[in-house]
Structures are given as C-alpha cells and as structure tokens.
Amino acid sequence: MPPSTTSLRVRYAETDQMGVAYYANYFIWCEIGRVELLRQLGFEYKQMEIDHAVHLPVVEATCRYKSPARYDDEIVIETRVTGLRTSVIRFGYSFLCTRPPELEPVLLAEAETVHVVVDREMQKCPLPEPYFSVIRAAMDE
C-alpha cells in the first residue's frame, strides 16, 4: 500500500525547554495521519461513527524514536494500513523531516497503532462495508 502523506509544522507548545518535540505528541500526530489516510480513501472517520455507529479505539500503540523533532521543523507523516482483519486494523507511521544540511529526509520515528472495531456499547464488531473493501483494495495496491 502506498503511504498517505500529511505535513505539519512542530509548534512551540509541542516542545520542551530544549525545543525538542515532547514524545507523546507523536501519538497525536499518528491520529492526524490516520484520519487523513481514511479521508484519502474516500470516507471520514466522523461520518463512519454517525452512519454506522462504529468506533476504532486504540488498543495498542508503540513508537520508536530515532532523531528528535524540533520546534518549527516541517514533519511529513507517512501512514499506511499494515494489517486488516474483520474487527482489527493496524496502522504504521513514519515521521520524516528534511533540514539543512541533509538532502535526504531524516527518519525521526516509526510508530504503530492497533485498533479494534466496536459499536456504541464498546462491543467488538466487524468493520462495515464499504470500509473493509476499500481498505483491503488499497492494501493490495
């Protein structure tokens, strides 16, 4: 699956006294990438909740940090679906930044989130069509 890409700039409020992005912000950035990936596939997470009464809570999240993101860096979030089962979706993320003097993007971090599909009562349920088919087709590209 080709990655969905989303850009953002590290805000001052997202950094510590050294101007380095606080580690937990990467999980917020995962959500930004995930929502944009779904939008690029043709549907919005918010509408999925309204139309089909399903939610995708995070049940596992990991992040491996390679190089610090700093205040005012422009970050590119690459997001892809790395696993899909009837009621479970796994997303992978790469966080990249290009800053002088490097010509190639620097890998800042890699993350993964695992989500279980649940209904309004938080009971596990299958991911409704057409979401499942659209995501599966994108994975096969």
- Cβ atoms of 40 and 101 within 8 Å: the answer is no
Q: Per the residue annotation, which of 16, 51, 72, 119 is the catalytic one?
A: 16
Q: Write down the pLDDT at residue 5.
A: 96
10-residue mean pLDDT profile of the chain (141 residues): values are 92 94 97 96 91 96 97 96 97 92 88 97 95 92 77
Q: Write down the pLDDT at residue 89.
A: 97
Go through the domains of the chain in sequence order and give each one's CATH number: 4-139 (3.10.129.10)
Would you give the DSSP letter of residue 115? Answer: E
Q: Does residue 72 have an active-site annotation? A: no
Amino acid letter, residue 82: T
Q: Write down the pLDDT at residue 141.
A: 77
Looking up tokens 């380095």, which residue turns up?
A: 20
Beta sheet of 58-65, edge-to-edge order = 4-9, 74-85, 88-97, 106-116, 58-65
